[in-house]
């Protein structure tokens, strides 16, 4: 565990995490950034051997966005702890703090809630330390109820504040009802599947996002 909350700013932004890898965290993050005129920060980036990274992706999808560089960046497309080991590096969780940014801020995690960051520290622990309201991105389809409820439980066990869930994919009203009822959480938006992810589709989809004050208020 990481002892003590971060001393960084605790309002005016959210931490975006997911129920799994590949659920659309970066696309949703881009929509939040676009909707709120927010800055973007991904403290831990992996997989740079295969792609340019989410920070560059967000910069391309939201022209003019202020992107804060990652604290740690690794080549291997693996969980941060294993990616660091492969490069002979050590992640110091005390460095994973929110930047001193006065405007709206979207922080994106790496992988899901229980992804290992370093020995004894999971992504959920980092989220708790940053003390930002959490937006949990979930698939809309089969299996999402289990994955979403488990993620919510892991976050709440550590004292995280849940702002809400964003469901990504074809509308599934029964899954939405189950998540809201059994997870005691608000579904902030349902994002339809987008084949062509671009600055234009981000702008269009961002219209589905509630105002920041409505999400964190």
Per-residue pLDDT of the chain in tens (217 residues, 90 and over written 9)? 444 444 344 448 999 999 988 899 999 999 999 999 999 999 999 999 988 889 999 999 999 999 999 999 999 999 999 999 999 999 999 999 989 888 999 999 998 999 999 999 999 999 999 999 999 999 999 999 999 999 999 999 999 999 999 999 999 999 999 999 999 999 999 999 898 999 999 999 999 999 999 999 7
Q: Where are the alpha helices (DSSP H) in the chain?
A: 25-36, 54-61, 80-86, 123-130, 144-157, 173-182, 199-205, 212-216
Q: What is the CATH number of the domain that holds 186?
A: 3.40.50.300
Q: Cα separation of 40 and 43, whole Å?
A: 10
Structural domains counted in the chain: 1
Q: Is residue 6 part of a domain?
A: no
147 lies in some domain: yes
Known binding positions for substrate? 46
Domain that holds residue 18: 13-216
In a domain, 68, yes or no: yes
Residue bearing tokens 């622990």: 125
Q: Which of 9, 34, 42, 139 is catalytic?
A: 42
List, as residue ranges, the binding site for Mg(2+): 26, 54, 108
- Predicted pLDDT at 102: 87
Establish if 1 belongs to a structural domain.
no
Of 8, 4, 28, 12, which is closest to residue 135 (Cα–Cα)? 28
Predicted pLDDT of residue 5? 41
User: Does 143 map to a domain?
Assistant: yes
User: Could you confirm whether 78 is annotated as catalytic?
Assistant: no
State residue 4's pLDDT score: 43
User: What's the confidence (pLDDT) of residue 195?
Assistant: 87
7 domain residue, yes or no: no
Residue 198 in any domain: the answer is yes
- Asked if residue 120 is part of any domain, the answer here is yes
């Amino acid at each position: 565990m990481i002892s003590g909350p971060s001393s960084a700013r605790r309002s005016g932004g959210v931490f975006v995490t997911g129920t799994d890898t590949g659920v659309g965290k970066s696309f949703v993050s881009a929509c939040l950034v676009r909707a709120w005129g927010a800055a973007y920060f991904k403290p831990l980036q992996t997989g740079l051997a295969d792609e340019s990274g989410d920070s560059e992706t967000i910069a391309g999808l939201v022209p003019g966005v202020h992107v804060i560089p990652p604290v740690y960046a690794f080549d291997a497309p693996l969980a941060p702890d294993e990616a660091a080991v492969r490069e002979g590096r050590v992640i110091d969780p005390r460095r994973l703090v929110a930047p001193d940014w006065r405007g709206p801020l979207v922080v994106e995690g790496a992988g899901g809630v229980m992804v290992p960051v370093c020995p004894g520290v999971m992504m959920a622990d980092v989220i708790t330390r940053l003390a930002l309201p959490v937006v949990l991105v979930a698939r809309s389809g089969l299996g999402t109820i289990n994955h979403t409820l488990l993620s919510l439980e892991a976050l709440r066990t550590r004292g995280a504040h849940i702002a809400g869930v964003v469901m990504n994919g074809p509308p599934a009203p029964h899954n939405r009802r189950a998540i809201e009822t059994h997870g005691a959480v608000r579904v902030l938006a349902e994002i339809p599947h987008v084949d062509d992810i671009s600055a234009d589709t981000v702008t269009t989809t961002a219209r589905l996002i509630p105002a920041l004050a409505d999400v964190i208020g």
